[in-house]
Structure 1
Amino acid sequence: MQTPSTIRLLIAIVLSTTTMQVQAQAVKAGSSAKKIAATPKFPEFTMSRTEVEAHMRFLASDELEGRRTGEQGNRVAARYIAEQFRLMGLKPAVMTGSQQDYLQSIPFERVKAASMATMVVGKDTLLLGKDILVMAGGPTSISGEVVYVGYGLTDGEDGYKGRDVKGRILIAQGGSPDAKSPREIFGASATKRKLASEKGAAALIELYSEPTPWGLVSQYLNREQMSIATGDNSASPIAHLWINNANNKYKQLKEGGQHISFQTSGRIRTSAISSNVAGIIEGTDPKLKDEYVVLSAHFDHVGVGKQGGSPYQPTDSIFNGARDNGIGTVAILEAAKALTLQRPSRSILVLALTGEEVGLLGSRYYAEHPLVPLKQTVFDLNTDGAGYSDTTIISIIGLERTGAKAEIEAGAKAFGLNVFAEPAPEQGLFDRSDNVNFAVKGIPAPDFAPGLKSFDAAIAKYYHQAIDNPESLNFNYVLRFCQAYAHSARLIANRPMRPQWSAGDKYEAAAKALYGY
């Protein structure tokens, strides 16, 4: 393990090298506006493969130990990105008191997996993992009659209406009428827990029979999770469990007069800190500069050893995350540099996001605590991916939906790449990356991903695996990917009219509410 002094030395070496490269490029370009204007091509056309590789080799190095949210390697990555922004001359986007900063600090909590839980329902004894999962709460031992509250999502539902449920054990149907994706299912679950807690319930139990298989959610919940701290200083949330209700096995719990008992060790919470990193490039057009295009990518990954959630060898337990999402992080750094050297009409917010791998938490926090007004944010060009299996394409999730198809296709074509729309549709990728937290606010937000058409063996070989190291990358392709991303961003930021959702898109109503059209 590297000491803090070793990490600081590594950063200093990389920053020093990058400084010399920037100075050399400034001399070559003449460093004057007239010289840049006379250049026949934009700065992204002379992007340096060496610089792309240097960024990647630092961010996906063993020394950063998988950049897991809340861990030291993640904080080092955030500091590196922030100092790159400073070096390029981006304006800090965060105001802390009277001080400007690049780091948007987020109060996280580590939530450890439950070590024990049992429940007795009639003659059945339900066990942790196989039959029940612990979502939240501290150590609890309780028994009593249950109260069925329907989905338990609103105060007006029949289950809650006119009832005093203080101190009671509540039973709710899992998910919601509309929830399909894991994000929607977990979001509905959090809403239920909040309402049950506000009403003074002793416990909340959901009957889970949703599309995401029980085995997958069991694997996910039986390891450490991260959440955003609520600011509630109470000892712990109420006890909240899921029951595996496949084939409607425990439908009797929806009836009156049913008694249950359960014990759980709960999920212990401890505080952790991580940060988004944000910098601004001011636009050149007197009117359009008040509108912002966000360039976003998550820089966190999954950590070391058991944190990674996949098999690993004793000789290599670090999940470096070169593809996911080292490529995206380097792309926003390189785009920031190109767009700083020759600024576009609209302003740019360059946003490196933490907490994606633990539930899209950094982007969710940003959407609730924006650094530029959401109403003035006209587009988010997010870049994230599982890796690549085709170096002739880039893959765009949401290409036909988000109003910038022509610019993205032109940006790719300029560097000899084709565009493939909607890879692996069965995976529901649009709602699985940070772009969705912009979309739910109404902001058009596709995901700009490395070249894949399906989750084939070439993708699975590296996706969330310890062998996803810089040494395995095709840097000629990574360079062209970064160039295509930067040029697409420029073309979108220079559009006379802002992009809009396709008519009838499920996020169009949110856009109309946000922008007032």
Structure 2
Amino acid sequence: MRTLLPVCALALLSACSQHTTDIVTPEKVTFDESRFRLDIKTLASDEFEGRAPTTKGEQLTLDYLSKAFAEMGLDKPNGKDYLQAVPMVTYTASEQQSIQLGDMQLQHRQDVVIGSRHDVSKIDIANAPLVFVGYGINAPEYQWNDYQDLDMSGKIAVILVNDPGFALPDSGKFNGKAMTYYGRWSYKFEEASRQGALGAIIIHDTEPASYPWSVVENSWTGAQQDLVRSKDEQAKWIEVEGWMTLDVATKLFDKAGLSLSTISDRAASSAINIPLNQTASISFENKAQYANSYNVVATLPGESRSDEHILFTAHWDHIGLDPSKDGDQIYNGALDNASGTAGILEIARQFAKQAQNGNPLARSVTFVATTGEEQGLLGSRFYASNPVYPLDKTVAVFNLDSTNIYGRTTDYTIVGKGKSELENYLIAAVETQNRTAKSEKHPESGGFFRSDHFSFAKYGVPAVFAGGGSIPVDEATAEYKAMMKQQMKGCYHSVCDEYRENWDLSGALEDLAVYYDAAAVLGNNSDWPGYFSGTEFHSLRPAKTDNN
């Protein structure tokens, strides 16, 4: 239950109730909880139908965001509206599928999830050899190649999820328990395509995947969006891609005379590929539809260095509707990511208000609400490769994805902490709240590679994904958090991710203030943060210091 209490300055927050109506930064910028809450509630309402790209829900979302930015007086980068067209293709595989691995006839959704990103009316694969390729990684810098001396033409790769560091965290392999990009499903499909494979199927396992089978079923069935590829790129892409359950994989390996657990141990120790001496036959109807989706881009021009931009990103999309489900068919996506989208709106309002009051930043601040994040960071990938403002003039990216609904914390999470000097601005801001910045508790989930900031990091733009924490500020908050965690259990990419009136958003508002303060400082200086030595992106924009 939210109570209306007097506003507290950040320096005094520890003395305030956990349910604070507003949050005020040291510069007296007010973050309005009721407005923030209304934005979440509206974007996550049934009317918006789960905000899937290229649907009615998208149009409602675009209209809502455009109106909000217009009311703030933000600039339209293209001069006529706030929209950046993102050419997309939607692939829809039939629910009626014939999937046979070895001698097992499998059930779509229950046992396997298979799709295709090809513009063909039917997929019809007969007796394609199955090859186990360990983690499906080709990483020269780690002296690792699971495809060594292997011709994958006409074959389907069977791949473990995550990377070897997860299985052997103390071995020094890869990045230990913290997932590298080589552990992401998107990389595994990309690499299988580069290797000339006919298809790729990832073995799902809840712990290394960091999510249950229900997330696979909900996320990779129905309409699947992708960026439109060139004909050459499309020709090289695998014909089928998907997942199988751990139970199915265990049986498949048993029938091949192999123990999945034993062979997985070998795969973590060294690169491996083994023919399974079994084949796959896969058949289903398929269709492709082309339409533009849109990023929403709005800019508050800087006063003296307007060509230099600080970006705030949040994905507006979610999974949409699933008419095949009984009961509730709407994936409202309240936490993921109506909350983050509402967050950049609230931050934008505060910067716009300061500018109108005669306190503009030297640098420009641009807000990008991206499309297609749930389908593989599509909107941010498109922006990064087709930037509205040059990336070499983009100072930094602050990304919001699933803000804190569990109350105030004494700590603050920086996902993938230790990558760039940009984090120093967050650390300085969070210390004014008497909080401590830490890395995420479960780096094995690969959080740094799972949201829109990563699309910019790949080009060397310092980008952070931060917020929340794991330590409640007091016992009452701890009790509330335990209760809300139970209510939200299993709601990631599920129909139960709905707005709740009893959400405690005070912690989220504190996090908005951290981002605001960090950007405000960076917006008025001449610093260009870079990536620390030893990180994946150091060579693209090196840090001036190496204090990581």
TM-score (norm 2): 0.68
Q: Is the 8 A contact 1:44 1:483 kept in 2?
A: no
Q: 1:510 to 1:461 in 2, by over 3 A?
A: farther
1:159 aligned to 150, 158, 163, which one? 150
Q: CA deviation at 1:401?
A: 2.6
Report deviation, 1:505: 1.7
> Which stretch shifts more, 293-302 or 176-185?
176-185
Q: 1:237 to 1:483 in 2, by over 3 A?
A: closer
Q: Which moved more, 1:144-153 or 1:351-360?
A: 144-153
Asked if the contact 1:282–1:348 (Cα under 8 Å) also holds between the matched residues in 2, the reply is yes
The Cα of 1:352 is off from its aligned counterpart by 0.8
- The structure carrying a bigger helix percent of its residues is 1
Distance 1:141 1:252, change over 3 A: farther
| Structure 1 residue 336: Cα displacement | 1.7
User: In structure 1, what is the Cα distance between the partners aligned to 2:88 and 2:159?
Assistant: 26
The 3-state SS of whatever aligns with 1:290 is: strand
Query: Structure 2: how far apart are the matches of 1:371 and 1:440?
Result: 17
For 1:291, what is the secondary structure of its paired residue? strand
Cα pair distance change 1:290/1:205, threshold 3 Å: closer
Q: Is the 8 A contact 1:44 1:335 kept in 2?
A: no
1:270 aligns with 2:270: no
Q: Hey, what does 1:75 align to over in structure 2?
A: 59
Instruction: For residue 223 of structure 1, report the CA deviation from its aligned partner.
Output: 4.1
Give the deviation of 1:205 after TM superposition.
Answer: 5.2
Distance in 2 of aligned mates of 1:324 and 1:147: 36
Name the amino acid aligned to 1:103: L
Change (3 A) 1:453 1:232: farther
The amino acid of 2:504's aligned partner reads N
State whether residues 298 and 352 of structure 1, in contact with CA within 8 Å, keep that contact through their aligned partners in structure 2.
Answer: yes
Per-residue displacement from partner, 1:327-372 (whole Å, max 9, x unpaired)? Answer: 3212211222222323212222211112122222211221222111
Match of 2:75 among 75, 91, 97: 91
User: 2:199 aligns to what SS in structure 1?
Assistant: strand
Counterpart CA distance in 2 for 1:120 and 1:50 is 53
Distance of aligned partners of 1:256 and 1:466 in 2 relative to their CA distance in 1, 3 Å threshold? closer
Percent identity, aligned pairs only? Answer: 24
Size of the alignment, in residue pairs?
448
Change in CA separation of 1:51 and 1:218 when aligned onto 2, cut-off 3 Å: closer
Give the letter for the 2:106 counterpart: L
Aligned equivalent of 2:48, options 41, 64, 73: 64
Q: 1:330 aligns with which of 320, 342, 356?
A: 342
Asked if the contact 1:389/1:452 (under 8 Å) is kept, the reply is: no
Query: Do structure 1's residue 117 and structure 2's residue 135 form an aligned pair?
Result: no
Matches within 5 A, 1:398-437: 398-412=416-430, 416=433, 418-425=435-442, 426-437=444-455
Match of 2:302 among 265, 270, 283: 283
Show structure 1 runs of 5+ residues with no match.
1-39
CA RMSD of aligned residues (A): 4.2
SS of 2:405 mapped into structure 1: coil
1:271-420 to 2 correspondences below 5 Å: 271-286=290-305, 289-304=306-321, 314=327, 318-340=330-352, 341=355, 342-385=359-402, 387-393=404-410, 394-412=412-430, 416=433, 418-420=435-437
Q: 1:334 to 1:190 in 2, by over 3 A?
A: same
Whole-angstrom CA distance in 1 between matches of 2:27 and 2:329: 39
Tell which deviates more after alignment, 295-304 or 262-271.
262-271
Task: Give the CA deviation at 1:152.
Answer: 9.9
**Match status 1:174 vs 2:159:** yes
Q: Which residue of the partner structure matches residue 227 of structure 2?
A: 228
Q: Are the structure 2 counterparts of residues 442 and 240 from structure 1 closer, same or farther at C-alpha, using a change threshold of 3 Å?
A: same
C-alpha displacement at 1:218, in angstroms?
5.3
Query: 2:86 is matched with which residue: 106, 118, 123?
Result: 106
Q: 1:509 to 1:209 in 2, by over 3 A?
A: farther
1:458 is matched with which residue: 481, 484, 487?
484
State the alpha-carbon separation in 1 of the partners of residues 434 and 286 from structure 2: 47
